[in-house]
Amino acid sequence: MKPFELQSFEQRVVFGEDHLSTLLPLAQDFGMTRAMVLTTPGRTMGATAIAAALGERHFATFTGAVVHTPVEVTDRALNVLGDANGFISLGGGSAVGLGKALALRTGLPHIAIPTTYSGSEISPILGQTRDGKKTTIRDKRVVPQAVVYDVSLTLSLPLDLTVSSGFNAMAHAFEALYAPDRSPETDRFAVEAIAGFAQALPILVDAPRDWDARAMVLYAAYLSGRVLAARTMGLHHKLAHVLGGLYDLPHAPMHAALLPHVIRFNEAAAREQLRPAADALGHESAAEGLEALALKLNAPRHLAALGMPLDGAGVAAELVMQNPALNPRAYGASDIEKLLAAALGS
């Protein structure tokens, strides 16, 4: 067996159905007597329910979380922090990201209640933007102390976001399979996650509120978060970071449009590592399996349709090459330009 190393983080994970009744004892355990609830503008009703469930332990609610965690938004939230002594984030990666940024600045505990499949709630990664430039850190201080998964919160996730967020999570699992620091444990998690998405996402196309399928997708997202937290991501995540920063593309749809192209590129050098993913998708090749799944789910397939300029590949390739990611297949600027030309889709 290949030697491996695994860094894990102290975190309580509750996977269940009733976040409101789970929350109060958790808030007590983490000494939150004045909790600040964080969310995006679209999730205010959920935040109000949490405030009511917290009762006297609720101190304030901030509903201004936005994508890419701009530092100005974190500053604004800090201005209303008062003497709050903990954060509860409700929402997708944007709300969770704000909770992580605030925890980093204050050292206060953070309970995350994710409602998408981003996996951010598990990872020690925080991407923040200042003046349109995104920088990413890996720091154990941003790992939420507790995560509460509640399947019922995901029933309202619109189908298009369900599919693209699922692809965002699958990207973590795919890149973990060929990571230079992969291990048997993360391989197993990654393959189980891919199989879960492949089985349950198509069910949600016809029945978006199917409880069992929603539960399977949420669990797959949790596993994907675990491997994102533990393993070094490759070219796909590098490209997503660069394109997100350069062209402000919507996060999850951009992952969906890119992933089959990157996997096609990398499969030439990582066929064996990707074989279990191909099997889970029921195809000879992992890239073909992903393309077929993307078609079946009507996933976003063209970066141009998401707002990437048709002549934007050159600048992106230059930026990628300034600080290349570890990747199973070596690449140069012309490879990136070719890959992006295909993903642009014109």
With tokens 């002549």, the residue in question is 311
Is 61 a binder of ligand NAD (CB under 6 A)? no
Is 266 a binder of ligand NAD (CB under 6 A)? no
Is 161 a binder of ligand NAD (CB under 6 A)? yes
Taking the least distance from each CB to ligand NAD, the nearer of 175 and 267 is 175
Residue in the shown chain whose Cβ atom is closest to ligand NAD: 93
Residues whose CB is less than 8 angstroms from the CB of residue 21 and which lie 6 or more positions away in sequence, other chains included: 53
Q: At what angle do helices 184-206 and 211-230 cross, to 10 degrees?
A: 150
Which tokens belong to 224?
């994907």
Is 289 a binder of ligand NAD (CB under 6 A)? no
Distance (Å, rounded) from C-alpha 333 to C-alpha 346? 20
Is 277 a binder of ligand NAD (CB under 6 A)? no
Q: Which residue in 156, 199, 232, 285 binds ligand NAD (CB under 6 A)?
A: 156
Taking the least distance from each CB to ligand NAD, the nearer of 85 and 162 is 162
Q: Which residue in 92, 109, 300, 328 binds ligand NAD (CB under 6 A)?
A: 92
Q: At what angle do helices 313-322 and 235-247 cross, to 10 degrees?
A: 120
Q: Which residue in 22, 61, 89, 116 binds ligand NAD (CB under 6 A)?
A: 116
Give min distance, CB of 233 to ligand NAD, in A.
10
Other C-beta atoms closer than 10 Å to the C-beta of 41 total 11
Taking the least distance from each CB to ligand NAD, the nearer of 157 and 278 is 157
Is 47 a binder of ligand NAD (CB under 6 A)? no
Give min distance, CB of 164 to ligand NAD, in A.
8
Q: Which residue in 19, 43, 236, 261 binds ligand NAD (CB under 6 A)?
A: 43
Is 125 a binder of ligand NAD (CB under 6 A)? yes
Is 173 a binder of ligand NAD (CB under 6 A)? no
Is 264 a binder of ligand NAD (CB under 6 A)? no
Is 144 a binder of ligand NAD (CB under 6 A)? no
Is 42 a binder of ligand NAD (CB under 6 A)? yes
**Using H for helix, E for strand and C for coil, what is the string for the chain?**
CCCCCCCCCCCEEEEECCHHHHHHHHHHHCCCCCEEEEECHHHHHHHHHHHHHHHHHEEEEECCCCCCCEHHHHHHHHHCCCCCCEEEEEECHHHHHHHHHHHHHHCCCEEEEECCCCCCCCCCEEEEEECCEEEEEECHHHCCCEEEEEHHHHCCCCHHHHHHHHHHHHHHHHHHHCCCCCCHHHHHHHHHHHHHHHHHHHHHHHCCCCHHHHHHHHHHHHHHHHHHHHCCCCHHHHHHHHHHHHHCCCHHHHHHHHHHHHHHHHHCCCHHHHHHHHHHHCCCCHHHHHHHHHHHHCCCCCCHHHCCCCCCHHHHHHHHHHCCCCCCCCCCHHHHHHHHHHHHCC
Is 71 a binder of ligand NAD (CB under 6 A)? no
Taking the least distance from each CB to ligand NAD, the nearer of 49 and 333 is 49
Is 252 a binder of ligand NAD (CB under 6 A)? yes
Is 91 a binder of ligand NAD (CB under 6 A)? yes
Taking the least distance from each CB to ligand NAD, the nearer of 99 and 260 is 99
Of the listed pieces 7-15, 36-44, 56-64, 300-308, which binds ligand NAD according to CB under 6 A?
36-44
Of the listed pieces 111-119, 197-205, 285-293, 323-331, which binds ligand NAD according to CB under 6 A?
111-119
Contact residues: ligand NAD, CB under 6 A:
40, 42-43, 67-69, 91-95, 97, 115-116, 118-120, 123, 125-127, 153-154, 156-157, 161, 165, 168, 228, 251-252
